[in-house]
Structure 1
Amino acid sequence: MTHSKKNQLQKSLGLSFNIAVLIGGTIGVGILRTPGAIAAMLDNYWLIISCWFCGGIYILIGANSYAELATMLPKAGGSYNYIKRAFGDYAGFLSGWYDYICNAIPPAFYCIVISEYVIILFPSLENHATTIALSFLITFLLIHIGGIKNGSVIQQVTSVIKVICFTALIVSCFIYSGVKIAPIEKDTSIFQIGLLFGFFKSLQLIIGTYDGWYSVCFFAEEDRNPSQNIPKSLFSGAILVILIYVLLNMAFFHVLPVSELANSNLAAADVAKVIFGKNGAIIVTVIAIFSLISILNAFMMIPTRILYGLSRDGFFIEKGTKINKGGTPIVALLVSSLFSFVLICIGSFEVLFSFGTFMSVIVWGLAYCSLIKLRKKEPNLPRPYRSIWYPWLTYLAIATTLGLLLGFVYSDLKNFIIIAITTLLSYPLFLFLNRKKKA
């Protein structure tokens, strides 16, 4: 399939956008909500902090592999390009659509959650949740129709505001001294089976809040200097996110003990009420809205790049490669936004979100495997960044991802069976598209 120059993405992005999209695409409301659930499962301060730290180490190990893959094949769409190159067209087709689905569902989810937080601030809007959600979607659609520069500026501004908000919350918690910290009791049950299960269950939740750490790879084709910018942004952005997550948990437990935060639906709000009084919940709600706007902006761009790449490779309609004057894959953006529009109108897509988590982990595992395969299959490919401690860290990433996948299968067998059946049914569709592409 040939493409004219007008259907090529513009090389207009740099390091500051990359770091902003990694932070913006990762830090959402998960970090404000999950500490309560994790405190209930582990009930041990040091175990909780180490669990968040372990999640961070996992994404750093992943960043080490993705830095090599993305600089070796700096193409729009990220993971599926590496998997396709290593394992062939069908693996690329399957992983590409898996990756698209798990990145196309979040915009609708974020629009709905933003509307819920807006209603907390303005209760009189209670009956207009769907309208508010659709308004946010349409607003961001119009922004991105205007071009990649609009999206880039908004991503950088909202990500900076997000980091300032979280830093202010962390500092406020550590300055606060109204509650004496209860002595940390030594828990002799750390090695009990129940607690070990809780640790791995918590790790799954934590890795969910870290999801988005590889966002920069989707934009590799639009980077002015991917060889240098992608590794720098992957590592610096990931380290910044880890610091915010670990310090925020330490800050929360500085204000309230583990037992107080256990099972809290919005741990940040409970902590903020102690520090700021009744206005605490409003402050956390405002932080949540800024976090969600930043992550929504990122996820308006990510699925369009995957769909553009799939279209270019003949796995979607050829018009999916159309680029407008502003450098936006316009057809891919409109298709993805229509999908989000439908999901918002349906209003209930938790099952799809569960699919997305499964698919995301599968794609990560295949991407790590593709690094090993391509080292053997194409040793002479230019590799501006070479994964450190190869292959041991890559093997560790594969083993950890496999463990996560087994954990998901154990806790949600029904969705796994549906995904397995969908995978089998996808092959005839792939053959049909392949025949059409060759015709």
Structure 2
Amino acid sequence: MTPAGDLRRALGFWSGTALVVGTMIGSGIFRTPASIATVLQNPLLILGMWVFFGAVCICGALTVAELATMLPRTGGTYVYLRAAYGDGAAFVFGWLYLLVAIPSGIAASSVFFGELTLRVFGILPHEIPWGIPAFASLVIVVLSAINIAGVRQGAAVHNTFTVIKVSALIALIVGALLSQAGEVQRWYMVPAEFKGGFDGVATSAKSVLFTYTGWIYVTLVGGELHQPERRLSRVILTGTITVSVLYVSANLAYLYLIPMSSMGQPMIAREAMMLIAGPVGAAVMNACILASVFGGLNGVILTKARVAYAQARDGLSFAFLGRAHPTRATPHYSIMIQGAGAIVLVVALHNPLHPLRLFDRLTAYFVLVEWLALVFGVAAIFVLRRTMPDAPRPYRTPGYPFVPIFFIAGTLAGLAALLWSAFSTGDLSPLVGVAIVILGFPVYWIWRRYRAHKP
């Protein structure tokens, strides 16, 4: 596969940075702090979780920046895994993306978008039983069509909605500080009824990891970025650091404005803006949350289809997935397949009374699979420093080997906490992700035999 294949280098620095920021900021930061506060109840632990995993992501970005500028090709993590560990590992990664990461991520975000849309108009999910899957499927179809039309069109939509969501967070943060409606001591005062501890930290790990997901997605379109050898490192680092700062600042704003006993609001950002600017501010924040979910979903659809495309170009998937549109220069078949898979999941798992219950479980093994793949992707730097010592490296990871080691250790600690929390409550959904990982290797063996006997 050539570095760009049949795709065009149409993305610049700002579009690349917007992809990092916009795919990381979806619905998470506007709602997960509430669920985290419910189980942790300790402001220092809450802030510590966001700071710690923000540092983990920044260390991951510092490491991946070297890999991305050394191998600036479409496919990102898939490319690094193939270079470091061979076709088998790359195939399993693509298999996981096709069956787990892509459909569950797109389906969960689109279902949340559908539910929030109904609630904004004062409609409860059970009042229109098929309203949520209809809205969810429609938004998947619309965004898939936009991204088939061209990477510039997809990036233009993404850039617009990234500006909206970042502006909303900045308005929330600055508004909280200027409002004088809160209390600074809420940043460090632990309620007398505090019951957190390790159980709370373990339960919160999934939510924090889910909210930080997306910092590496821009590498999936490495073959479509102008001068990736120069720009990818700056794009990844600028975006990841920006979002980490915004996340910690937003949590400071929430804690400042809302007492710990009242932080269990389903949409904490809306409640915070209500305190700052009244009903009008809350209504505007509702619209911004919708825009954030829509924009984040667009970024996922834009970037993740490139994995199946790159895999097919290397002969590790069905050839038609590696074809680019003859005039639009987009991986149209990959985009259509991932959209269809997500819609099937939306419809198959629909529950009118509890629309998000099954998707919350999907999130557990989505987070496990996504971040486990990142561990191996970041660890590729140790292999490639040894096996490709003379490869051009426009950017070298500072603090090597401690920076990638910190990322790996921090991520594994978070995943271990996630598993412990799930198993202690009888939730075995993370094992689904592990089972799919294991199943990928015999499927790869079957694929090799199929390819060997294909005329």
Q: Deviations over 1:219-250 (max 9, x none)?
A: 11111111121110111111111121111111
Matched, 1:369 2:379: yes
The worse-fitting range, judged by mean Cα deviation, of 417-426 and 368-377 is: 417-426
Matches for 1:11-410 after TM superposition, within 5 Å: 11-100=9-98, 101-123=100-122, 127=128, 128-181=131-184, 195-261=197-263, 263-324=264-325, 325-348=327-350, 349-350=358-359, 351-410=361-420
Query: 1:193–1:248: structure 2 CA closer, same or farther, 3 Å change rule?
Result: closer
The structural deviation recorded for 1:183 is 6.3
The structural deviation recorded for 1:412 is 2.9
Contact 2:31–2:269 (CA under 8 A) maintained in structure 1: yes
**Which whole-Å CA distance do the structure 1 matches of 2:262 and 2:435 have between them?**
43
The worse-fitting range, judged by mean Cα deviation, of 175-184 and 202-211 is: 175-184
**Which whole-Å CA distance do the structure 2 matches of 1:412 and 1:43 have between them?**
20
CA RMSD of aligned residues (A): 2.5
Contact 1:80–1:92 (CA under 8 A) maintained in structure 2: yes
Contact 2:30–2:267 (CA under 8 A) maintained in structure 1: yes
**Which whole-Å CA distance do the structure 1 matches of 2:430 and 2:116 have between them?**
32
SS, match of residue 412 in structure 1: helix
The structural deviation recorded for 1:22 is 0.7
Letter in 2 for 1:269: R
Q: Percent identity?
A: 26
**Which whole-Å CA distance do the structure 1 matches of 2:5 and 2:240 have between them?**
32
The worse-fitting range, judged by mean Cα deviation, of 161-170 and 251-260 is: 251-260
**Which whole-Å CA distance do the structure 1 matches of 2:260 and 2:221 have between them?**
40
SS, match of residue 397 in structure 2: coil
**Which whole-Å CA distance do the structure 1 matches of 2:169 and 2:186 have between them?**
26
**Which whole-Å CA distance do the structure 2 matches of 1:6 and 1:215 have between them?**
16
The worse-fitting range, judged by mean Cα deviation, of 425-434 and 172-181 is: 172-181
Q: Number of aligned residue pairs: give it.
A: 434
Contact 1:80–1:99 (CA under 8 A) maintained in structure 2: no
Letter in 2 for 1:329: P
Q: Deviations over 1:164-214 (max 9, x none)?
A: 12211222222212455556666599xx99524433543442222111011
SS, match of residue 197 in structure 2: helix
Contact 2:205–2:418 (CA under 8 A) maintained in structure 1: no
**Which whole-Å CA distance do the structure 2 matches of 1:181 and 1:340 have between them?**
44
Matches for 1:419-434 after TM superposition, within 5 Å: 419-434=433-448
Q: Deviations over 1:248-281 (max 9, x none)?
A: 11112222223331x3322112222223334454
Query: 1:165–1:94: structure 2 CA closer, same or farther, 3 Å change rule?
Result: same
Query: 1:55–1:422: structure 2 CA closer, same or farther, 3 Å change rule?
Result: closer
Contact 1:71–1:384 (CA under 8 A) maintained in structure 2: yes
| TM-score after normalising by structure 2 | 0.88
Contact 1:18–1:216 (CA under 8 A) maintained in structure 2: yes
Letter in 2 for 1:407: A
The structural deviation recorded for 1:425 is 2.9
**Which whole-Å CA distance do the structure 1 matches of 2:153 and 2:267 have between them?**
32
Letter in 2 for 1:161: I
Contact 2:7–2:224 (CA under 8 A) maintained in structure 1: yes
- Report runs of 4+ in structure 1 exceeding 6 Å deviation: none
**Which whole-Å CA distance do the structure 1 matches of 2:174 and 2:136 have between them?**
32
The structural deviation recorded for 1:32 is 1.2
**Which whole-Å CA distance do the structure 1 matches of 2:76 and 2:216 have between them?**
9
Contact 1:147–1:327 (CA under 8 A) maintained in structure 2: yes
Query: 1:23–1:33: structure 2 CA closer, same or farther, 3 Å change rule?
Result: same
Contact 2:366–2:433 (CA under 8 A) maintained in structure 1: no
Letter in 2 for 1:157: T
**Which whole-Å CA distance do the structure 2 matches of 1:361 and 1:13 have between them?**
26
Contact 2:4–2:73 (CA under 8 A) maintained in structure 1: no
| TM-score after normalising by structure 1 | 0.91
